[in-house]
Amino acid sequence: MNLFHLNSGIFPIISNLAIEDVSELIIDGFQGQNNLVNIEIKNVVLSELNEDSFKDIKSLEKLTFQNVSIYTLHTGSLHILSNMSKLVVKFLNCKIDTVQSESISMQVMKLEIINSVINVINSDGFNVSAVDGVDIINSTFGSIISPESFKFRSNKINIIENEFKSLPSSLLRDVHVTNDKKINFVGNIIHDIDLGGFLLYSKTNKLNFSKNKIICDCTPRKTSILRLRELFPGLLTNETNFDAIIENNSCKNYNGIHLSEFKRTFLSGLICNDTDALIEQSSTSWQRTTENLDTKNNSYLLTAYFNFIFVCISLNIYF
């Protein structure tokens, strides 16, 4: 079907609604359809979801988007306050271009984002309380991700084997597990990250940050933390957590070496001593040039150290 326009109240008494194989889907909303228990939207193109599209569907138990392309999730488009002990929301093989601020605000049983692509997430894009877990798996996130885009609260939170073009330092600050378990941030590929800032903002005693692959380079955003212990002894009050994180994650480039080996090589001066080292190194060879870093690059590095310390003291969060 080329076009389907879903008007409010068009199916007032049905409990199950499936919309499939539509080239252009327009949803006015589900107001007045209080008997809906299951909504499945599959193989469609949806240019936008507008505010209050899913408002007042308190009977809903399952909402599934599968193989759906969505250009914009507008503010308030997925505000769902249903029977949170039953509702399961799934995004499977979806592509979402933009999640606006406060687009997704839900109290649910479970949220799953699997094999999907989200390019832009604005502040408070996701604000989800889940009784039985948040799973974000095998998905790709673009380079425009707000530091306050993830607000999750659940007894299980798995962020596993995704690709982050950019990972803001405070992305996990408002991600909380409600028991003694840890947030599993495991096996992800990370392109751009302020590694020191990310680890300081994150509560490492509640975070399993392991088996991640980082695009390593010589910029201060990724190397300032590696010299912190040597330059400022005693600042890391729990060095065991720091050492575990350095040991249990690796570079995606540099032949896949662990961060601990990258740190050793960096501190020994074998890499990152010249201008070309600021550019990402080849995964098959570590080429060096003879030109030293200029004063400007050194000042950037020094500034990064002091910014790192300022954040540490301000937040009072230590390893």
The band of 9, judged by pLDDT with boundaries at 50, 70 and 90, is low
Q: How many CA atoms lie within 13 A of 305 on its CB side?
A: 13
- Would you call 192 exposed, middle or buried from its count of C-beta atoms within 10 A (0-12, 13-18, 19+)? middle
Whether the per-residue pLDDT at 202 is higher than 90: the answer is no
Amino acid making up residue 121: I
| pLDDT tens per residue, range 228-280 | 777 666 666 555 567 778 889 999 999 999 999 999 999 888 888 754 344 44
Residues 6 or more apart whose Cβ sits within 8 Å of residue 306: none
| Tokens of residue 273, six digits | 């001593």
Whether the per-residue pLDDT at 290 is higher than 60: the answer is no
Whether the per-residue pLDDT at 110 is higher than 50: the answer is yes
Instruction: Give the distance from CA 9 to its chain's centroid.
Output: 36
149-170: average pLDDT: 95
Note whether 5 and 26 are within 8 A (CB). yes
Whether the per-residue pLDDT at 282 is higher than 60: the answer is no
139-152: average pLDDT: 94
| pLDDT tens per residue, range 121-131 | 999 999 999 99
**Most confident of the following: 80-94, 122-136, 203-217:** 122-136
pTM, two decimals, is 0.83
Q: What is the pLDDT of residue 278?
A: 40
What domains, with CATH codes, occur in the chain?
A: 1-193 (3.80.10), 217-319 (no CATH)
Angle, helices 239-247/259-267, rounded to nearest 10 degrees: 100
25-32: average pLDDT: 81
Output 174-182 pairs: Cβ under 8 A, ≥24 positions apart. Answer: 174/148, 174/150, 175/150, 175/151, 176/152, 176/206, 177/206, 178/153, 178/154, 179/155, 181/155, 181/156, 182/206, 182/207, 182/208
More confident residue, 21 or 315: 21
- From 67, 25, 32, select the one nearest 50 (Cα to Cα): 25
The band of 318, judged by pLDDT with boundaries at 50, 70 and 90, is very low
Distance CA(138)–CA(161), nearest Å, equals 5
- From 273, 186, 189, select the one nearest 223 (Cα to Cα): 273
Note whether 24 and 3 are within 8 A (CB). yes
On average, the pLDDT of the chain sits at 81
Q: What is the pLDDT of residue 82?
A: 62
